[in-house]
Structures are given as C-alpha cells and as structure tokens.
Amino acid sequence: MHAVRATYDPSRPFMPWLMAIARNRLVDSVRAYARGKANEVNVDEYPVTFSDDAANNVVDSYRDPEALRKAIRMLPQGQREAVELLKLRQMSLKEAAAASGTSVGALKVSVHRAIGALRKTLTKD
C-alpha cells in the first residue's frame, strides 16, 4: 500500500482502493508461483555427480611422481616457484607473495600458466 499511495484519490472511497491493491498483489503472487512451478521438474531419485564410476574415484597422488617432478623442473623459474610455494608447500597467497617478493595477482597468473603447462606436458605421453 505504501508503494502505491500516490494512486489514492481522497475524493473516492478508501476500501475499494485498498481491496484492489490487495487483489492485484495476490494475482501477482499467484502468477509468480505458477511461473516457478512451470519450470520445476519433479524427480524420484537425484542423479549422482558423475555417471561413470571411474570418475568418482579419489586419487591420493599422481600416478608417476618422477614425471611430475621432471615436468615441474622444466617450468620457468617464476612458475616453478609459484607451484612450489602454493601447491607443494600449501602456503596462502599472502604468505607466498611475501616469500617470493611478487604480487598476489602475479602468483595467481603464474600458477594458472604452470598448471596449464604441466597438464600439457603430462598428457602428451
């Protein structure tokens, strides 16, 4: 009622104006509820995250640690240092930035590029 108070005309009866507002709000609510229900799908059983069982296995470590070490050694100095600080030593971004003397943003970029390079190197085989 407060939002539409400017539409009230004091020369006309108050109750019909109030009831029209209430009716319109009710109709708007019913329409919104119907739109929401129209897009919902009822299911009896929720699907699992992955349909393939192999995708649901948790792997504790990389399969070939020596190949991973070699690939990390082949990275450029900045990327290698970022991976060692953030991923191997599990430092926070602030701690790693202080230890390496670079910015948080530069570390994020370096790790992103390093992970891409490692993925590319390790999946070539």
Average pLDDT across each block of 10 residues of the chain; the chain has 125 residues. List them in order: 85 93 95 86 72 61 79 93 92 93 94 93 78
Query: What pLDDT does residue 116 have?
Result: 93
Query: What pLDDT does residue 91 have?
Result: 93
Q: What is the CATH number of the domain that holds 111?
A: 1.10.10.10
Query: What pLDDT does residue 37 have?
Result: 82
Side-chain half-sphere exposure of 6, counting CA atoms within 13 A: 1
Would you state the structure tokens that stand for residue 86, as one six-digit string?
A: 């953030």
Range of the domain at 98: 64-123
Query: What pLDDT does residue 4 have?
Result: 85
DSSP 88: I
Is residue 94 situated within a structural domain? Answer: yes
How many domains, in total, are found in the chain?
2
Residues 76 and 115 in one domain: yes
Tell me the pTM. Answer: 0.50
Residues 73 and 119 in one domain: yes
Q: Report the amino acid identity of residue 99.
A: A
Is residue 109 situated within a structural domain? Answer: yes
